[in-house]
Structure 1
Amino acid sequence: MSLHEINTGVQKNKRRQRIGRGTGSGWGKTSQRGHKGARSRAGWSNRATFQGGQTPIVRHVPKRGFNNKWAVTVACVNIKDLNELFNDGDTVNAETLQSKGLCKRRFEEVKILGDGELSKKLTVEAHRFSASAKEKIEKAGGTCTTVVRRVTVAEKKEQAKQADS
């Protein structure tokens, strides 16, 4: 076989198989669907979890835990990370933390935790502070400003529902 013979006999656009056109065609009578059963009927389609009538694995495996759709996602940042990435006199807020790569995923609030030591004077703006973090920032000569988070429409509805009851 030579290189110029590789594609001989290969059709670019193959004609579709016409079924149900008599027994002489080889695709007549049941039209390759077999006798009876779900697949032989018109309009049959299976679910992604279908396992041939057997109880699917998704129904065998028990449901575990609870996924709270109202939970606030909090990005936690330690003081030691602030000490490494920021210079003396810098302002630390949600935008600067994202730009430095400390808060990579989606979050609604930022919490500063007190792990490590701080030797730089920083102005820190966050939604939450641990007691030790606040103490260490103020001890280093910096300031802690608590930022109020914007409330979403869903949270406003939930608060109104709680107020009514």
Structure 2
Amino acid sequence: MSVTQLNSLQPAPGSKRPRRRVGRGIGSGLGKTAGRGHKGQKSRSGGFHKVGFEGGQMPLYRRLPKRGFTSMSRHLRAEVRLSEIQALPVDEIDVQALKQAGVVGHGVRFVKVIKSGELSRKVTLKGVSATAGARAAIEAAGGSLVE
């Protein structure tokens, strides 16, 4: 087993290729037009245009109608089922506890409990809202909601 010295390190064979020298004669394979073809805007120096430019024609992104938007508030809100609360090991549940348990994402700021599934133990919800049905189910199990 030979130990490689720092002064003898070199790239793996075939990993480095020589750079392409365009416009340097017939023998290079990229002489004369230098791989740019004949005539036209792209063949000339400085002959590139901005992204989406269609030669003066009204570009596609301006021809299409403006329609709708994505509300960022939907990323801040999350819904939690009663069955997910039932599975949590803690009795005092707030947004932070739900984040740590992985029930809601880390960007979530507002959580609402919906009536889906069963809740058979006493839990206290702090800073979490609930639908009317979910509130009734939590209170029926002996729990409470603190806004």
**TM-score for the superposition, normalised by structure 2:** 0.66
Assess if the C-alpha contact under 8 Å between 2:75 and 2:107 holds in 1.
Answer: no
Alignment of 1:127-142 (within 5 A): 127-142=128-143
1:12-62 per-position Cα deviation (integer Å, ceiling 9, x unaligned): 644333333456766443323222212212234466668999998867876
Offset at residue 84 of structure 1 (A): 2.7
Identity, % of aligned positions:
38
Counterparts in 2 of 1:44 and 1:145: CA distance versus 1, 3 Å: farther
Aligned residue in 1 for 2:18: 15
CA RMSD after TM alignment = 3.6
Unaligned runs of 5+ in 2: 1-12
Instruction: Quote the Cα distance in structure 2 between the aligned partners of 1:67 and 1:134.
Output: 30
2:133 match: secondary structure: helix
Q: Secondary structure at 1:96's aligned position in 2?
A: helix
Q: Which runs of 5+ in 1 are unaligned?
A: 1-9, 147-165
Q: Does 1:41 align with 2:44?
A: yes
TM-score scaled by length of structure 1: 0.60
Q: Give the alignment of 1:30-109 within 5 angstroms.
A: 30-45=33-48, 64-69=67-72, 73-86=76-89, 90-104=91-105, 106-109=107-110
Summarize deviations over 1:132-160 as a string: whole Å, max 9, x none: 111221222211011xxxxxxxxxxxxxx
